[in-house]
Amino acid sequence: MSHPVPLPPVRFVFGVHLHQPVGNFHHVFAAHARDVYRPLLAQLERRRLGPALLHISGPLLEWIEEHDHQLVDQLGKLAADGAVEFLLAGMYEPILAAIPRPDRVEQIAWLRQALQARFGIAGDGLWLTERVWEPELSADLAAAGIRYALVDDRHFLVTGFRRDQLHVPYRTESDGQPLTLLAIDERLRYLIPFRPPEEMADYLRALHAARQPLAVFADDGEKFGGWPGTREWVYDRGWFDQFCDMLDRLRDEGVVRLCSGREALDEVPCGGIAYLPTASYREMEGWALPPDAANRLLALEAELGTERIAGPDGALVRGAHWRNFLAKYAESNRMQKKMFALSTLCRQRGNPPVARRAVGRAQCNDALWHGVFGGLYLPHLRAGVWSQLAIAERELRQGEPIAAETLDINGDGSDEVWVHSAHFSAIIAPARGGALEEYTRFDTGRNHADTLTRRLEAYHLSRPGHAGTPAHDGTASIHDLEAALVFDAQPPVDLDDRAIGVPRIIAGHLAADAYAAAAYQPVASFARTRCAARVEVADDAVIVHCEAPGFTVDWRIAADGEVHARYTWDAGALPEGARFAPELSLAYPLALDAPGARDVWRYEIATTAKSERGIERVRQGEAVTPLFDAATGEAAFSLR
């Protein structure tokens, strides 16, 4: 009598990504180490969840080495026992597609060196930061010694693959350099840890019955206790132990076998060739859209219906790519383009180690975009990037006299004037009415112009969604919590992007509170006036003369960084009582001297935005506006 041949088990890859960004607060690192990382690693060891994939971001790795020797010992024991396979990435968690190509290889090498120095081993698989993929990455990853990378299954689905085709490795290449891709299963990402383990078991049994050889789970480790509500669910209410019990049962049944990424590559036959488009995860592509387009996408998804969006057609309904954040937010673009400029300068000057590391830290992605987490909206994260850029530029400009360059540093199609010395770096934008977009002091590491424009966001207009899964049946994911956010009123929206010295003429009857709320129309605005620029360089100062019909501004910046501005404008036909109002948006205080000003208005620049904790009001800086009689046709101020 013949017996049925038992089905081979599904090889189950379990991976977590532990991450904290450059510039985050010490107490946030410490709280996550206590509440998330130590308990998670203890479970990996105690409940035989190895071989697990584990990625640790460079900023977190450096912090635990300095502050948490217990966590270092836990990691060392797991590595020595072969319980984890370390994943590589850029050391300081850059979006690899958004940094110079040589820097991509170098960033990966840094993390490999750090892991080998601390634990004696480093992997050859890659955690792709924010799962942002671009086709030419294959060549750079291969050059960095990467054998395989984890990408979202969505990256395949938008190419036309079916879900049932994604349980095998695929091969891709660029410039003839090969790379293997493993698709992260979205279904598992939404089940683990938010739903009861029985639902995960049902899904894995279905894969087993369908003879699927591979299932890959890889996601943020912070969801195991760091996201709102997850600590109680995962640990206090026993989800993690139930999850491990269920995995033990599935292993005993022959349904699954835990394996590493390397084992998956060696044991599961390749599915063939795949060429993936630029892509990220679904929510990221929606966040990258402008507000109106984001809400049109939501309306389209609602019209198509939940069932169709969850099906194969849903992947073809897409938002924008990650790089669109650089077009959506000028502040993000300025950080990223300044990093590019300094990375190039650093290589031209022999790559001094201090400057190169600072450029690498400034490539951390978190401050460059905004989704459900605060990101760009958090001043301390932007300050972390600007501080590293200041360190790099200070190292590269030691002993330099004051100088100026005219170039399109931010890539917007209009030239800026970059004024710099051994003490400071400043960027003037003639195409923005001569506004000062950056003013970084090397002695403090602060960019005084690093405020954030109050913008209209899609979620200011969207209808409220529904709260997360009932507590007795699971816990809400971060996206469930996001959908439940409700804004009682639309926050203020600025008339123009913020900078130091945004020039406008306002009516004499305009009240200070209406001005602060941007609830007015200026009599005249030069904020978007395209000026011709002329630059004069002397031994002790640079003068940048910006001129347009009926308007001029002269900036005089001394070698030590002291700033003087002088404006002229056509005062004819202005209404009686009109005031010239150059708005100075300051992230950090500067002493203002404004002779002839009738008054100085000040208000707090605050944004109201979503975060993982809900709706947050965050101070971004202070707006300081000296008011001059517009009938005089001239005004001046100094900043020290």
Query: Which of 85, 93, 106, 130 is the catalytic position?
Result: 130
Could you give the CA distance from residue 597 to residue 209 in angstroms, rounded to a whole number? Answer: 79
Those residues whose C-beta lies under 8 Å from the C-beta of residue 350, and which sit 6 or more positions away, are: none
Catalytic residue among 124, 199, 220, 560: 220
DSSP state letter for 574: P
C-alpha 376, offset from chain centre:
7
Q: What is the dihedral of CA 80, 81, 85, 86, to 10 degrees?
A: -30
Q: By C-alpha distance, which of 291, 286, 343, 361 is closest to 111?
A: 361
406, β-bridge pairs: 417
- Residue 405 CA to residue 198 CA, distance in Å, equals 63
**487-518 as b/e, with b when 16 or more CB fall inside 10 Å?**
beeebbebbbbbbbbbbbbbbeebeeeebbee
Residue at token pair 């989704």: 371
| Rounded (to 5) percent helix, strand, coil in the chain | 40, 25, 35
Beta strands in 561-629 (DSSP E): 563-569, 579-586, 592-593, 599-611, 614-629
Please name the residue that has the structure tokens 């087993």: 208
Q: How far apart are the C-alpha atoms of 278 and 294, rounded to whole Å? A: 18
The total of other beta-carbon atoms located within 10 Å of residue 48's CB is: 14
Look up 482 and say whether it is catalytic.
Answer: no
Cα–Cα distance measured from residue 119 to residue 108, given in angstroms and rounded to the nearest whole number: 16
Round to whole Å and give the CA distance between 239 and 28. 24
Q: H helices then E strands: how many in the chain?
A: 22, 25
Judge whether 252 counts as a catalytic residue. no
**Residues assigned a catalytic role:** 130, 220
